[in-house]
Amino acid sequence: MSGMRRVPRPPHGPVAIATSPWIVVGAGVVVMVVLLIVALGAYRGRSPAPDGTQPPALPVPSAVVAPSVPTSVPSPAPVLPGISGRANGLPPSAAAGSASPSADPTAGPAGKPAATPSPSRAAPGQPAMIGRYRVVQSFDGGFIGEVAMVNTSTRSRGWTVRLEFAGGRLVTSWVEGVPQGTIRQFDDGFTYVSGVDVSPGGSVSLRFHMERAPATPRECTVDGTRCNGL
């Protein structure tokens, strides 16, 4: 009996698991198989909708649109023929007021146009041609003078201006806006006879350039009547 060797017994419990790795590997395989079976069962539970219909889509919130506010458009103002507020830039009320007969300064009673005033007539004893003397421009050694005339009679007429100074010399003379007339010089002055008649109520101006002469003449007449403005 002493010569026989005893065979050692395999360890039990945790020591046996630690010394046998194949046990750990087998347990892991079992766990993975179980998990795979659970996953397949969950996938099969999700069956497609009957008749191939798609599940209803979730409503997508649309963009919020602010309610439109109705804009009031003013009605166009009535357009009056020939005198509308749009044409002349006036408001309708002003345009309508200007169209009334009373707004026309030339309108007479009941909207009738007033008569055109006739040319002023010379009062008894008043000369037909009235002249006014003035100095237009003064400068060193001379000045520019003017005799402005108005025809107050009822017919066209010519005119003659006579100017006389205490010394000096006439350089030139001319008429504004009408054909030139005839000039005659004499000592210290000159006369100017018109080249065209002046219509009733019309006016004309004679200008002249004097050197080394006083600005106020000793004599200024139109058709023999003394000039105003002296």
Which pLDDT belongs to residue 88?
Answer: 44
For residues 148 and 132, is the Cβ–Cβ distance under 8 A? yes
Q: What is the pLDDT of residues 58-77, one digit of tens each?
A: 555 554 445 555 555 555 55
**Residue 125: predicted pLDDT:** 65
Residue 148, CA distances (Å) to 51, 73, 204, 227, 229 in order? 114, 60, 6, 9, 10
The H-assigned helical ranges of the chain are 14-19, 21-45, 85-88, 92-99
Q: Which residues in the chain show pLDDT less than 70?
A: 1-20, 45-125
Q: What is the pLDDT at residue 8? A: 59
- For residue 194, the 8-state DSSP code is -
Decide: 173 and 183 in contact? Cβ < 8 Å: yes
pLDDT of 220 reads 97
